[in-house]
Structure 1
Amino acid sequence: MSTLYYLLGVVLFVVGLALSVGLHEFGHLIPGKLYNVKVTQYFIGFGRTLWSRRRGETEYGVKAIPLGGYVKLVGMIPPSPDDDPASVRSRPTGMFAQLVDDARSAEYEEVGPEDQDRLFYKLPWWKRVVIMGSGVAINLVLAFLLFAVVFMGYGVFKPTTTVSTVSQCVKVVRTGQEPGACTPTDPVAPAKKAGIRPGDRIVSFNGTPVTGYKSLQSLIRGNEAGTATIVVERGGKDVTLRTDTAVNVLPSLDDPEKSVKAGFLGIGPTQTRQRQGLGYVVSSMADGTWQTVKAIGSMPNKVYHIARASVGLETRDPNGPMSVVGAGRVAGELVSDQQTSLASRFFSVLLILAGLNLFLGLVNLVPLPPFDGGGVATTIYEAARRAFARLRGRPDPGGVDAARLLPLTYAMAAVILVVSVVLIFADLVVPVHVPNG
């Protein structure tokens, strides 16, 4: 049964990935057709074609490797700037020049005289931006909707003011590490000294009513090594307890990757699942966006360390990036975890897909080809250059020749391929696993 659930989790992730990619490409397809661009292909995946069917002028299909997709919008590459039709078939010298010439020739193989007004590059700049940016918009909207379904429909675990555990001693809590077992030389934890028990609900701290766990944390940390009078509800009655909080090294509330010295009581809160409002979804999306942007910026360094970990030179960071192979493995492990409810496992996979769509949307905003952001940046630059020329009364400088960016496009594609291979290899030899329990 566990293996069946594991496979179910992997299948659920793969289907979600294919739908995410398909909807991204759908975001390019629909405005392209609305603006009467000739669209010859819409495919999910790469590699060998598994299935395809032609509807009108467009071939729709699915390929074997579900790691992406594409929509063929005819006229993405403009003809030669000299407007000489023969130049499209010329054979200039130089590797890059021939590369550009071959791309132009392939681009216009399916263009007839009746298609001249349906070429992508002839659209107004803002329509081109809409077509290229709609795929990103689809992923970001889908991420928001998935986060909303999980947070508002199912809820998230939030700490309460009811005590779940009481520490036996004061131990330094290092970021990313367990505090370890108590030793005879460790000081007794303030909560244990006070006589706090699991199941107690903390009502007030030093005379200040406790409205939630965050406010309780702030009161405890701000008390440092001071005297603490704590009122708890126990068995329906209020009990007053006294102790002195200790100063300990704890993860920062603002940045959990940093450590700070603060007041320490030694309690663990009870967690309950609570449905959240729209504001929580918005703030979570904003925080996730910032974290994803930072992750994209630090990707080269992270991939370098993952490569070292994959050959045994260091330990892999469980919070680092992973490939779709690793994400599928995590989805399988989540769904096969018999200690949690089936609903919890399902919504955990939805969270993975929400994060995946957020990443797909943001990474495609990178202003370099072959990302959508590269085309958007080039088009905006072209529009700005033409507007500037008009303001200065100069001749129209013409459009940007996207074909000349093909060497950069292929170089970036090679980088993406190398990164993908490194991550997939690491996910096979040193995979990230879901923590037990």
Structure 2
Amino acid sequence: MLLFVVGVVVMVIGLGASIALHEIGHLVPAKLFGVRVGQYMIGMGPTLWSRRRGETEYGIKALPVGGYISMAGMYPPAQVAAGASTPRAARGRRMYATLVQDAQAANAETLDGVDESRTFHRLPVWKRVVIMLGGPVMNLVLAVVLFAVLFSGIGMQQATTTVSQVAECVLPAGSTATECSAADAEAPAHAAGILPGDVLVSLDGTEVESFAEASAIIQAHPGDAIPVVVERDGSETSLTLTPVENQVEVTADDGTTSVETVGYAGVTATVARIQEPIWVGPQTAFENVGAVVQIVANLPARLYDTAYDLFTGGERDADGPMSVVGVGRLAGEVAATDAPVLDRIAVMMSLLASLNIALFVFNLVPLLPLDGGHILIALWDGLRRAVAKLLGRPEPKPTDATKLVPVTLVVVVLLVGMGALLFAADIFNPVQLLGG
């Protein structure tokens, strides 16, 4: 139980660090471009601790589920003074007008006593885009670093070309026997003279660098005698191996299955951690980006499946969406498993890296209040300015995004609903990665 708690705490700290770096990605370019930043906060809810340095208040809040920086003039000043009664509000006090007024009032507070040149909305489009991209990019960079350390530093468990065990006989298909009988045929590797500790150098004249390559050659030669070179006690030894025929079930990409005849030798490889080239980590990170983009693109269908599995008790898709509760629970289970410490660290690093990929992709969705929504507005302003310049018209005023607050509220409600669904699913019908 203690190890489970340690795993959860480690993941919470990792999530907090990821959020902190995300907000630093916004904070640093904002300050470099001269924007006044009033607050830098990690978390949501009540403030646990804060301290003011210069013009910025830095703090930590109770819930590690987000963060924000407060920049002066995220939106241009409203044409109607904040708090004034608009004709629409006067006629019916409609919710739309009230929400817009509240947003304009909050925006006006950030403009109080601030030089207009230090407001976000007055920046050139490219600077606004850089500031808003800074957060998601920090998550991507962190994921790349974590995957690089995982693959090139710690290394990944792989079957090597060193032989661990050699079967003495070929047991019949479906047999539960643990020992050979006189009726069982001798295993090809044993008959060829391959010994535990031998290192496979080449098979059928082809040098091999991994057990997967050696296995592929063996499977491709059922019933054929092939030359094998092994390294034993520092010198190379030439042997002859004749794999026997073995029936295996193969699943195609379309889900259909078929039975194929492949070669079988009866050797088991030694598993060890292998450090991969430095580019494997970044490559894995970008492959994960593509996978998460597909998840986000199909999010409504995946959320429906999650809800269906929650209420029916069905097994959830391990590649489906998950809340921080689910990630924390998996981290706790990993920490509590009976496995080498390095293996547990590797899995938790992989979880944290994948979480940062999810933060990178999700924050770029072009909807307010996400970073992607602010980027879209900045690009829209840039397009309007370019068209005006092309047509010889005066430069248009920046887009007043406070008028989109009602739409933003709908997005927030949907995000809260999605979070509630995933929280419930992760508590009552969690993803099973390590067995039920």
Fold match (TM-score > 0.5): yes
Check 1:230–1:88 CA distance in 2 against 1; reply closer, same or farther (3 A cut).
Answer: farther
Q: Is the 8 A contact 1:163 1:201 kept in 2?
A: yes
Larger Rg: 2
What does residue 215 of structure 1 align with? 213
Q: Which residue of 1 aligns with 2:330?
A: 330
Deviations 1:45-102 (A, max 9, x none): 111222222333322221111011111112112223xx45x36623433322321122
Asked whether the 8 Å contact 2:72–2:119 carries over to 1, the reply is: yes
- C-alpha separation in 1, matches of 2:225 and 2:282: 37
After superposition, what is the alpha-carbon deviation per residue over 1:290-334, rounded to whole angstroms, capped at 9, x for unaligned? 222222223222222222222234222233332111111111121
Q: 1:37 to 1:88 in 2, by over 3 A?
A: farther
Contact 1:158 1:274 in 2 (8 A): yes
1:13 paired residue among 7, 11, 14: 11
Is the Cα–Cα contact under 8 Å of residues 89 and 105 in structure 1 kept in the other structure?
no
Q: Which consecutive unaligned segments of at least 5 residues does structure 1 have? A: 172-180
Structure 1 SS opposite 2:243:
strand
Q: 1:351 matched to which residue of 2?
A: 350
Q: Deviations over 1:136-182 (max 9, x none)?
A: 111111111111222222111122234557696798xxxxxxxxx55
Aligned to 1:63: 61
Deviation at 1:198, TM superposition (A): 8.1
* Equivalent residue in structure 1 for 2:84, among 83, 89, 108: 89
Q: CA deviation at 1:399?
A: 2.1
Residue of structure 1 in register with 2:99 after alignment: 99
Q: Is the 8 A contact 1:224 1:263 kept in 2?
A: no
Query: Structure 2 CA distance, aligned partners of 1:170 and 1:289?
Result: 45
Give the structure 2 partner of residue 178 of structure 1: none
CA–CA separation in structure 2 for the residues paired with 1:64 and 1:8: 19
Query: Is residue 286 of structure 1 aligned with residue 286 of structure 2?
Result: yes
**Alpha-carbon offset, residue 289 of structure 1:** 1.9
- 1:160 maps to what in 2? 160
Asked if the contact 2:222/2:263 (under 8 Å) is kept, the reply is no
- For the 8 Å contact 2:82–2:108, the answer to whether it is kept is no
Using the size of structure 2 for normalisation, the TM-score is 0.84
Residue 150 of structure 2 aligns to which amino acid in structure 1?
V
Q: How does 1:14-29 map onto structure 2 within 5 Å?
A: 14-29=12-27
User: Corresponding residue for 2:387?
Assistant: 388
Structure 2: how far apart are the matches of 1:115 and 1:230?
80
Deviation at 1:262, TM superposition (A): 5.7
- After TM superposition, the structure 1 = structure 2 runs for residues 177-196 of structure 1, keeping only pairs within 5 Å, are 181-182=174-175, 192=187, 195=190
Q: SS of the counterpart of 1:106? A: helix
Letter in 2 for 1:131: I
User: Structure 2 CA distance, aligned partners of 1:115 and 1:353?
Assistant: 40
**1 CA distance for matches of 2:433 and 2:369?**
33
SS of the residue corresponding to residue 406 of structure 1 reads helix
Q: Distance in 2 between matches of 1:256 and 1:164?
A: 35
Percent identity for Structure 1 against Structure 2: 38
Q: How many pairs were matched up? A: 416
Following the alignment from structure 2 to structure 1, what is the Cα–Cα distance between the partners of residues 185 and 60?
62
Question: Is the contact made by 2:292 and 2:358 (CA closer than 8 Å) also made in structure 1?
Answer: yes
Q: Bigger CA drift: 111-120 or 357-366?
A: 111-120
Q: CA deviation at 1:193?
A: 5.8
Q: Which shifted more, 308-317 or 323-332?
A: 308-317
Q: Which amino acid aligns with 1:337?
A: T
Q: TM-score, normalised by structure 1?
A: 0.84
3-state SS of paired residue (2:111): coil
**Alpha-carbon separation, structure 2, partners of 1:124 and 1:407:** 27
Q: 1:230: how far off? A: 5.8
Query: 2:301 is matched with which residue?
Result: 301
Shift in Å, 1:113: 4.5
Q: Deviations over 1:178-218 (max 9, x none)?
A: xxx5589xxx9999466577836544444433332343354
Please name the residue that 1:424 is paired with.
423
Map Cα deviations across residues 233-268 of structure 1 (whole Å, 9 max, x no partner): 49664432213545633356xx69886776633565
Q: Residue in 1 aligned with 2:228?
A: 231
Matched-pair contact (CA < 8 Å) for 1:44–1:69: yes
Q: Which range moves more in the overlay, 426-435 or 320-329?
A: 426-435
Rounded to whole Å, the distance in 1 between the matches of 2:185 and 2:59 is 65
- 1:273 counterpart residue number: 273
Of 39, 49, 52, the match for 1:51:
49
- Match in the other structure for 1:406: 405
SS of the residue 2:279 aligns to:
helix
Aligned partner of 1:36 among 14, 34, 37: 34
* Distance verdict in 2 for CA 1:226–1:301, change over 3 Å: farther
Query: Contact 1:227/1:245 (CA < 8 Å) preserved in 2?
Result: no
